[in-house]
Amino acid sequence: MRYCLTMLVLWTMILSAVACGRAFRQPTLSDQFPEVDRKTQVGEEPPLLLEDAGAAQHVSPSDAPVADNSRCHVCHINYEDEKLAVVHARANIGCERCHGSSDAHCSDEDHLTPPDVMYPLAKINPACMKCHTQNKIDLIPHRPLFDGTAAEGGKHCTDCHGDHRLERRMRKWDKTTGKLE
């Protein structure tokens, strides 16, 4: 009888642990952005238009390398689930590709050192277009980028493609000079 009671208690504990694990499981990026988790066909190019409905088919397969941005996410945890950062990471494009290694910034616990590369508004579109060239994104919504009217109208790639800005800052630097404001 004692053996049966012990087994019953043990199984109850195991089932409870399994149920709690499922109930409190952290959502994955695939849960949050299911359209990003589709597999590509062999030979397809990496993502071109991050928000475009057809872009999901260009995302790397789930077994492909994913950029490790954990060094940045120590402080910038808000970008761990930010769509623009997630889609680029899935394409094995990490923070460093655009913002430099920023070693001094990463090791400065007083937040006095700016990242190696920051983007004032005037430099956002040209920076994005280094990879997302006209022959890859020549669609009607992007025409102002190519005829030069985007900057005049105050349009920037990050207005539509991700919310890639910090809401709260410990420090603010001039994005052109890197000096503290």
Rounded to the nearest 5 degrees, what angle is found at the Cα of 50, between the Cα atoms of 44 and 55? 40
The reported pLDDT for the residue numbered 40 is 35
Label residue 35 by pLDDT band (50, 70, 90): very low
CA distance 55 to 35: 9
Beta-carbon contacts of residue 55 (< 8 Å; ≥ 6 apart): 47, 48, 49, 87
**Mean pLDDT over residues 44-51, rounded?**
45
Which of 1-10, 43-52, 162-171 comes out lowest in average pLDDT?
43-52
Do 81 and 73 form a contact (C-beta atoms < 8 A)? Answer: no
The reported pLDDT for the residue numbered 49 is 47
Is residue 1 classed as helix, strand or coil in its secondary structure?
A: coil
Q: What is the pLDDT of residues 6-29, one digit of tens each?
A: 877 777 777 776 665 544 444 444
The distance from CA 48 to its chain's CA centroid, rounded to whole angstroms, is: 14
Stated pTM of the model:
0.61
CA distance 49 to 75: 28
Whether 46 has a pLDDT exceeding 60, the answer reads no
CA distance 11 to 4: 10
Please provide the average confidence, as pLDDT, over all residues in the chain: 76
The reported pLDDT for the residue numbered 78 is 87
Whether 145 has a pLDDT exceeding 70, the answer reads yes
State the sign of the Cα–Cα–Cα–Cα dihedral 54, 94, 153, 144: negative
**Mean pLDDT over residues 63-83, rounded?**
88
Q: Please give the backbone phi and psi of residue 57, each rounded to the nearest 5 degrees, phi first.
A: -70, -15
State the sign of the Cα–Cα–Cα–Cα dihedral 53, 58, 63, 65: negative
**Mean pLDDT over residues 110-116, rounded?**
91
The reported pLDDT for the residue numbered 61 is 55
Do 47 and 91 form a contact (C-beta atoms < 8 A)? Answer: yes
